[in-house]
Amino acid sequence: MRCLKPFFSAGETLVDRLLCVVGAVLFSQAPEFMQQYLQRLGGHLAEARRQLAQFEDIAARAGRTVRELAAQYVANADQTVSSMGHLVNDTAARVDSLAAAEAALRGASVWERPFVFLRQCDTEIARGTVEIFKPAVPTTLEGLVYALGGVVVVLAVYHGLVCPLARRIWRDARKKPVTKVA
């Protein structure tokens, strides 16, 4: 078994290097993904604001605020008209939510951004971003930070979980007595 130790040692070094590259490449895509997500988020926000502006125009022509118009619609006995009131309220809430998410992401530092993204993430927009995501070679400090973070995370998982488990399995396999079948 001692004769195999250099082979496994060299293999482990190769695995370390491959994992460093994989971790760096994967994590370095996070800033690009968030940038593409922000573009989609901005598009959704612009469309929601456009819809809300139409409701505001209707309300202004009636001498009301959007909230008053929505309340009048909701109070209507006709289910269709009442549904329009809920739509107006939902649109106003969507504008508020998307604007807060965009402001939080744009204002976050490099260190805060992944946590802010996870807190503010709109799953529909994220799913759409994944569908059209185009990887890019990061050339920013943020990309470098994420790449280094990927190296650290992947190596920590490998050396903290995978290697000890593999050693335990290897050690247990060596301890089992070999039984001969007659």
Distance CA 46, CA 95 (A): 9
Range list of H helices, the chain: 5-28, 30-61, 66-75, 79-107, 113-120, 123-132, 141-157, 163-175
For residues 50 and 17, the model is more confident at: 50
Burial of residue 154 (number of CB atoms within 10 Å: 0-12, 13-18, 19+): buried
Domains of the chain, by residue range, sit at 1-29+139-177, 36-134
* Tens digit of each residue's pLDDT (9 = 90 or more) over 90-118: 999 999 999 999 999 999 998 899 999 99
Q: Is the pLDDT of residue 165 over 70?
A: yes
Q: Which stretch of 8-17, 50-59, 99-108 has the lowest confidence by average pLDDT?
A: 8-17
